[in-house]
């Protein structure tokens, strides 16, 4: 087994156990989309586009009292170590579903009956935690699209490597570690909107990890806010670079 | 997954306006008929890819990534490596693109881009053989269309060329028992030329280069020509139902040849630092 934490308590990429990877969020990176964002979270690079609210196709899927939210999480063929076939995998379909369910509680869909809001996530590079980075970026793109929301949604994973509970696993840690638990919350309403877990955690580790994830989400929320404020109220125009 | 907006009512109404501008040798965005929009090429943006490039032409934005793996050669070319160029028109690229298998326009786009690279012999596939008939290098170039505002053919082609030209590949050695071992060392992927594709749109008898989505919406015909370093034509494709008379075909070649020279310099500039 690879040693994932050294004697100084540092991880292979030099982080402490409670440290997240460098994070960068940009707003409005695509011209055609109604709202868009770009996130770099460690080596994860994801573009998100929001289209809608707009007419639903096929029409029978439309709901009379609210809009429907559809998410598509897709990985570019060059996003992983070995090429990924462009066709959506079962994993991508499941992740699309949980992302949609993580975002939906924050949206005031009742304002737009008989419409659809499409959220497209394109993972340009994946390095562990892409669903969390994708959720964080999607909320920003939804805000950029002007979709009314009750709160933002922020996500971060915790896990267990070399016997310790750590924040924000990268790809190697996810593969070699003992547990991975992505968490998404609404930071102002204090609600959990996504929780997944694979691996093994004691109830104590679970509690500790969950708390670490929530705290990290609160930090990430500030980055989300700043990205949006910079775009809409910023002193200097925020461009692509 | 339509690459081009079509039958948009507003665009039909705009045709008269576009044509009127063209008669004054102008375009709606102020360009001359044979002017490109600003082209911006960045390379080395995806660390996990063997090579990568982001190309922006005006508001059009595409990313290409190269993956080099070990594959089996086609039975009819046992002593040739593989080169596959694939273009995905993603649903995030415009309000008119839908998820799902590529439609005929997306397939044409991918095949035309692939043909230009393949026919130009940019990569010498005969040098990518490990065990003849059994194991060869397989170069996959995947292009993601992120934002659509016309001229996807050229944008996807430039991204493909820039990503291949800046690719490095793992070194492999073949043992006595036919075992393939990957060495730690990475070597640059050798290239022979910089193919440049130029797409012209014909609207009301006039040629323009680098059409926007709006212009593509009203064009009668399209022609894409790919040139190698010596100015030879390596691939061509006429598209859309409109026609080109014989003089127009010759004119198209002349226009495209000149533009290709200029664009080649832009591509060369973008790849010169990345190589190594």
pLDDT digits (tens, 9 = 90+) for B191-222: 999 999 999 999 999 999 999 999 998 899 99
Task: Determine, for residues B146 and A48 on separate chains, whether the beta-carbon distance falls below 8 Å.
Answer: no
Q: Give the DSSP letter of residue A83.
A: P
Question: What's the start-to-end Cα distance of chain B, in Å?
Answer: 37
A:B CB pairs within 8 Å: 90
Predicted pLDDT of residue B46? 97
Helices (H) and strands (E) in chain B, counts: 5, 12
What's the distance, Cα to Cα, between the start and end of chain A in Å? Answer: 40
Report the residue from A45, A80, A122 with minimal CB separation from B92.
A122
Give B229→chain A minimum CA distance, Å: 28
- The whole-number pLDDT of residue B48 equals 95
pLDDT of residue B1: 37
pTM of the model: 0.86
Q: Choosing among B48, B107, B162, B164, which should be mutated to test the A contact, i.e. which has the most A CBs within 10 A?
A: B48
B88 shares contact with chain A (CB less than 8 Å): yes
Whether B93 and chain A come into contact, CB under 8 Å, resolves to: yes
Nearest to B93 among A32, A80, A124 (CB): A32
Q: Where are the domains of chain B?
A: 9-271
Tell me the average pLDDT across A50-64: 93
Q: Do A122 and B47 touch (CB under 8 A)?
A: no
Q: Which two tokens stand for residue B117?
A: 């690279």
Per-residue pLDDT tens digits for B54-105: 999 999 999 999 999 999 999 889 999 999 999 999 999 999 888 888 888 8
User: What is the C-alpha to C-alpha distance for residues A211 and B196, in angstroms, rounded to an integer?
Assistant: 55
With vertex at residue B107, the alpha carbon angle to CA B196 and CA B58, rounded to the nearest 5 degrees, is 50
Q: Are B46 and B52 in contact (CB under 8 A)?
A: yes
Please give the CATH topology (third level) of the domain spanning B9-271: Ribosomal Protein S5; domain 2 (3.30.230)
| H or E, element range at A90 | helix A90-103
Q: Does A66 touch chain B (CB under 8 A)?
A: no
Q: What are the residue ranges spanned by the domains of chain A?
A: 23-231
Residue A21 near chain B (CB below 8 Å)? no
Q: Is it the case that residue A103 has pLDDT exceeding 90?
A: yes
Test A82 with B67 for CB contact under 8 angstroms: yes
pLDDT reported for residue B10: 67
Is the preceding peptide bond at B103 cis, omega within 30 degrees of 0? no
**B54: nearest CA partner in chain A:** A124
B52, B59, B94 ranked by CB distance to A78: nearest:
B52
**B140 to chain A: closest CA residue:** A83
Using CA coordinates, name the residue in chain A closest to B102: A87
Distance of CA B224 to the CA centre of its chain: 10
Nearest-10 crossing angle of helices A130-144, A90-103: 50
Q: Which residue, B232, B1, B217, is CA-closest to B100?
A: B1
Q: In this complex, do B48 and A77 lie within 8 Å of one another by their Cβ atoms?
A: no
B3-50 pLDDT, tens digit per residue, is: 444 555 666 678 889 999 999 999 999 999 999 999 999 999 999 999
Task: Reply yes or no on domain A23-231 having CATH 3.30.230.70.
Answer: yes
Q: Looking at the complex, report in whole angstroms how far the Cα of residue A168 sits from the nearest Cα belonging to chain B.
A: 19
Mean pLDDT along residues A185-212: 94
pLDDT for B99:
85
* pLDDT band for position B273 (cuts 50, 70, 90): confident
The answer to whether B148 faces chain A, any CB pair under 8 Å, is yes
The Cα B234–Cα B228 span in angstroms is: 7
Residue of A44, A55, A72, A78 to mutate, interface with B, max B Cβ within 10 Å: A78
Higher pLDDT, A236 or A59: A59
Partners of A120 on chain B (C-beta within 8 Å) are 90-92, 99
Smallest CA–CA distance, residue B45 to chain A, in Å, is 10
Question: Which of A33, A51, A79 shows the shortest C-beta gap to B48?
Answer: A79
Average predicted confidence (pLDDT) for chain A = 94
* Radius of gyration over every alpha carbon of chain A, rounded to an integer in angstroms: 18
| Residues of A whose CB is below 8 A from B49 | 78, 125
Query: Which of A32, A86, A125 is closest, CB to CB, to B46?
Result: A125
Residue B188 has a pLDDT of 94
Closest by CA position to A13, among listed A133, A161, A132, A125? A161
Interface of B with A in 9-28 (CB under 8 A): none
Asked if B142 is an interface residue toward chain A (Cβ–Cβ < 8 A), one would say yes
Q: Are residues B147 and A72, on separate chains, in Cβ contact within 8 Å? A: no
Q: How far is CA B26 from CA B15, B57, B58, B149, B276, in A?
A: 14, 19, 17, 19, 43
The arithmetic mean of pLDDT across residues A57-82, rounded, is: 94
pLDDT surpasses 70 at A235 = no
Chain B 98-137, residues with CB within 8 Å of chain A CB atoms:
99
């Amino acid at each position: 087994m690879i040693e994932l934490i050294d004697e100084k308590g540092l991880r292979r990429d030099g982080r402490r156990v409670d440290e997240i990877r460098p994070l960068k969020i940009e707003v409005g990176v695509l011209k055609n989309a109604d709202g868009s964002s770009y996130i770099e979270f460690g080596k994860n690079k994801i573009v998100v586009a929001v289209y809608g609210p707009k007419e639903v196709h096929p029409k029978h899927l439309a709901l009379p009292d609210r809009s429907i939210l559809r998410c598509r999480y897709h990985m570019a063929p060059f996003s992983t170590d070995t090429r990924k076939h462009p066709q959506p995998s079962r994993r991508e379909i499941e992740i699309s579903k949980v992302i949609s369910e993580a975002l939906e509680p924050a949206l005031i869909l009742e304002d737009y009956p008989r419409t659809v809001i499409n959220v497209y996530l394109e993972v340009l590079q994946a390095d562990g935690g892409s669903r969390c980075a994708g959720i964080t970026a999607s909320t920003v793109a939804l805000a950029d699209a002007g979709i009314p929301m009750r709160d933002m949604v922020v996500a971060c994973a915790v896990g267990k490597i070399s016997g310790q509970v750590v924040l924000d696993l990268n790809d190697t840690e996810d593969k070699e570690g003992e547990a991975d638990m992505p968490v998404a919350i609404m930071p102002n309403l204090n609600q959990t909107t996504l929780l997944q877990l694979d691996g093994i955690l004691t109830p104590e580790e679970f509690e500790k990890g969950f708390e670490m994830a929530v705290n990290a989400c609160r930090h990430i929320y500030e980055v989300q806010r700043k990205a949006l404020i910079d775009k809409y109220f910023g002193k200097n125009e925020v461009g692509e670079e | 997954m339509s690459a081009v907006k079509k039958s948009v009512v507003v665009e039909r109404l705009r045709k008269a306006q576009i044509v009127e501008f063209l008669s004054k040798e102008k375009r709606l965005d102020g360009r001359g008929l044979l002017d490109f929009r600003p082209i911006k090429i960045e390379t080395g943006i995806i660390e996990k890819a063997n090579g990568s490039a982001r190309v922006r032409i005006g508001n059009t934005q595409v990313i290409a990534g190269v993956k080099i793996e070990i594959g089996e050669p086609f039975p009819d070319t046992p002593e040739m490596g593989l080169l596959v160029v694939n273009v995905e028109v993603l649903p995030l690229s415009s309000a008119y693109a839908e998820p799902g298998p590529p439609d005929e326009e997306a397939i044409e786009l991918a095949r035309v881009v692939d043909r230009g690279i393949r026919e130009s012999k940019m990569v010498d596939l005969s040098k990518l053989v490990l065990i003849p008939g059994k194991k060869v290098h397989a170069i996959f170039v995947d292009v993601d269309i992120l934002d659509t505002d016309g001229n996807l053919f050229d944008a996807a082609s430039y991204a493909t060329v820039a990503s291949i030209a800046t690719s490095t590949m793992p070194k492999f050695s073949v043992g006595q028992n036919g075992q393939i071992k990957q060495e730690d060392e990475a070597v640059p992927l050798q290239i022979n030329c910089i193919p440049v594709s130029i797409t012209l749109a014909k609207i009301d008898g006039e040629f323009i280069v680098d059409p926007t989505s709006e212009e593509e919406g009203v064009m009668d015909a399209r022609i894409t020509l790919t040139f190698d370093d010596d100015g030879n034509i390596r691939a061509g494709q006429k598209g859309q139902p409109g026609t080109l008379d014989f003089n127009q075909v010759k004119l198209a070649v002349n226009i495209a040849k000149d533009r290709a020279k200029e664009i080649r310099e832009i591509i060369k500039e973008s790849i010169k630092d990345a190589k190594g």
